[in-house]
């Protein structure tokens, strides 16, 4: 009896599973990431263009913020989603550089693609990229200029310059002088120990010009839902006492809460009287505290509103949780869940309170707060898309200033630090033998994508300016970068084009990590849903 020596085929994966592997798979992943890079390249720098994104439900967004664009793009390629993740991570960690980190990661992969096609092992490439990244990060730390915090005026100038640089590529670049002051004031108003940017409230009011935006050193929130009697209440106080409640001051029909069985009409009246007595006891207890302003997270009904109006007390019910939290941070006191036993320690205060008309809406302003660890930016603009982009731009600038406060070392922007790192890595590569020299050289070449793309987006001659930059850096001009004012190269440190060193370090580390992760993947297994009567692809 003859036995077949051929091994039988064993099917492990479900029918319809798509498995592709090897060098072709790595190249496929790199090409997907390069397509993402091409989308973002035109948005880089002061002369970068904006992208109009229309979602499936017809909502339009205009932005040149890398993280925002990638979040709104419907990316299906699994490898390309890696770039979305590093962009979001950069946004969460330092707030700016979201486009740079994606472009750098794409360029590192483009350099690696050549080596992969030449047959160099992907593990060998990742080792070289890691080594180059370590050298680059160490060099940034060595070159970074630390600005002393001892002189408040000098330190404020550092923060303003970092904010101006962060805004240079945004919609608000033409109004950067106005918004720079607003951003720096906002960050400096926070508790300098934890710098929680969530305590900077941002409110958007359509209409007016961008420079009609208001910085409030305290809390501002939109007028809440109000009942009859609200207009009789005073709308301005000096040194008011403020009570913050989590109590509902509204008459509820008894049928809402319980079923009451009565035998006589008088019994029913007793129930109603008891309910009125309860709410009046609450209101009188509040009035007895001497409070001028009553805020509550829960509704304040028409009876309470009129009661307070008769006693020249201002009230606002249904205050949003985040607004109430910021009020407490600013005015002091504490939030109360009962109206009895309120002491003077439970009340907050501020220098001025007023209700202000802004555009078509009315806002409550609490200014001159003794505990001011919060502030509010009221943004104006002609269209909702414009205000939304102003908000994103200010968020980036706020995050940059926040990082500059906690890490006060800076480097020059405009491609200066990238060109210096490129020159340093090329010099180092000459001291390394073997293929590793090629990888480190490739990393150095990839770094030049930032100044090259800045030139391209500004309509300048990239080849000529890059040659000038290489020449300047070879002569020891470490802070030479693209100077857009003169359309030439120049000392960007002297021109005050500054960025926190942390932004550059984080961008390089994230981009290298993403490139290494993608290069280490050489097989993709994709499970497809069964279709057409339950038979997967390839079934017969």
DSSP code for 300? B
Cα separation, 117 vs 115, whole angstroms = 5
In terms of Cβ atoms closer than 10 Å to its own Cβ (0-12, 13-18, 19+), residue 391 is middle
48-to-63, 100, 162, 167 alpha-carbon distances in Å = 10, 12, 19, 12
Which one of the listed residues 68, 99, 126, 376 is annotated catalytic?
Answer: 99
Q: What share of the chain is helix, strand, coil (3-state, %, to 5)?
A: 50, 15, 35
Measured in whole angstroms, the distance separating CA 339 from the mean position of its chain's CA atoms is: 39
Residue 122 backbone zone (phi > 0: left; psi -120 to 50: alpha; other: beta): alpha
Cα–Cα distance, 291 to 329 (Å, whole number): 18
Alpha-carbon span 404 to 97, nearest angstrom: 14
Query: How many angstroms separate the most distant Cα atoms in the chain?
Result: 109
Sign of CA dihedral 72, 73, 74, 77: negative
Angle at 260 between CA 258 and CA 266, to 5 degrees: 140
Q: Are 394 and 215 in contact (CB under 8 A)?
A: no
Distances (CA, A) of 102 to 83, 461, 507: 6, 23, 9
Distances (CA, A) of 453 to 29, 103, 246, 458, 504: 23, 9, 54, 8, 17
Pairing state of beta strands 352-358 and 236-238? Answer: antiparallel
How far apart are alpha carbons 378 and 221 in whole angstroms? 9
507 close to 76: Cβ distance less than 8 angstroms: no
Residue 446: HSE in the Cβ half-sphere, 13 Å Cα cutoff: 31
Cα 199 to Cα 355: distance, rounded to the nearest angstrom: 21
310 labelled catalytic = no
Q: Which of 43, 61, 65, 346 does the annotation list as catalytic?
A: 65
The residue count of the chain comes to 540
Annotated active-site residue 99? The verdict is yes
CB distance 218 to 365 below 8 Å: yes
- 98 an active-site residue? yes
Contacts of 259 (CB under 8 A, 6+ apart): none
Phi then psi for residue 218, to 5 deg, are: 155, -140
E-assigned strand segments in 187-328: 200-206, 214-216, 218-222, 236-238, 241-245, 293-296, 314-316
Q: What angle do CA 330, 332, 338 make, to 5 degrees?
A: 125
Catalytic residue list: 65, 98-99, 396
């Amino acid at each position: 009896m003859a036995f077949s020596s051929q091994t039988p085929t064993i099917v492990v994966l479900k029918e319809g599973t798509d498995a592709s592997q090897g060098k072709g798979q790595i190249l496929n992943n790199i090409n997907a990431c390069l397509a993402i890079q091409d989308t973002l390249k035109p948005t880089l720098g002061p002369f970068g263009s904006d992208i109009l994104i229309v979602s499936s439900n017809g909502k339009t967004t205009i932005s040149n913020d890398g993280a925002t664009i990638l979040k709104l793009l419907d990316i299906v390629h699994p490898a390309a989603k890696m770039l979305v993740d590093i962009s979001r991570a950069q946004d969460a960690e330092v707030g700016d550089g979201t486009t740079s980190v994606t472009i750098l990661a794409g360029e590192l992969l483009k350099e690696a693609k050549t080596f992969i096609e030449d047959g160099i092992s992907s593990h060998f490439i990742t080792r070289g990229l890691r080594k180059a990244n370590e050298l680059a990060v160490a060099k940034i730390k060595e070159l970074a200029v630390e600005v002393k915090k001892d002189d408040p005026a000098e330190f404020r100038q550092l923060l303003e310059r970092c904010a101006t640089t962060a805004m240079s590529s945004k919609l608000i670049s033409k109004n950067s002088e106005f918004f720079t002051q607003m951003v720096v004031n906002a960050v400096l108003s926070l508790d300098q120990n934890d710098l929680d940017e969530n305590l900077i409230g941002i409110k958007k009011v359509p209409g007016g010009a961008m420079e009609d935006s208001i910085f409030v050193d305290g809390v501002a929130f939109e007028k809440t839902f109000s009942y009859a009697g609200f207009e009789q209440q005073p709308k301005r106080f000096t040194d008011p006492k403020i009570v913050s409640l989590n109590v509902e001051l509204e008459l509820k029909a008894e049928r809402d809460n319980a079923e009451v069985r009565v035998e006589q009409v008088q019994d029913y009246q007793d129930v109603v009287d008891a309910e009125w007595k309860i709410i009046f006891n609450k209101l009188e207890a509040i009035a007895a505290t001497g409070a001028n302003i009553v805020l509550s997270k829960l509704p304040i009904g028409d009876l309470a509103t009129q009661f307070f109006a008769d006693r020249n007390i201002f009230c606002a019910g249904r205050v949003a949780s985040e607004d109430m939290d910021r009020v407490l941070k600013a005015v002091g006191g504490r939030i109360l869940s009962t109206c009895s036993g309120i002491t003077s320690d439970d009340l907050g205060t501020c220098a001025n309170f007023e209700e202000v008309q802004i555009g078509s809406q009315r806002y409550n302003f609490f200014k001159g707060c003794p505990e001011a660890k919060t502030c509010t930016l009221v943004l104006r603009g002609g269209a909702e898309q414009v205000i939304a982009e102003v908000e994103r731009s200010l968020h980036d600038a706020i995050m940059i200033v926040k990082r500059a406060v906690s890490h006060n070392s800076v480097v020059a922007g405009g491609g200066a630090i990238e060109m210096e790192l490129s020159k340093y890595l090329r010099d180092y590569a000459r001291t390394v033998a073997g293929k590793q020299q090629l990888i480190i050289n490739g990393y150095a070449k990839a770094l030049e994508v930032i100044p090259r793309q800045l030139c391209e987006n500004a309509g300048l001659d990239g080849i000529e300016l890059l040659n000038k930059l290489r020449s300047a850096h070879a002569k020891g001009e470490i802070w030479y970068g693209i100077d857009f004012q003169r359309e030439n190269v120049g000392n960007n440190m002297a021109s005050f084009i500054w960025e926190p060193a942390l932004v550059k370090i984080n961008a390089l580390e994230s981009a290298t990590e993403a490139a290494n992760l993608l290069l280490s993947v050489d097989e993709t297994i994709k499970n497809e849903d069964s279709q057409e009567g339950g038979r997967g692809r390839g079934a017969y």
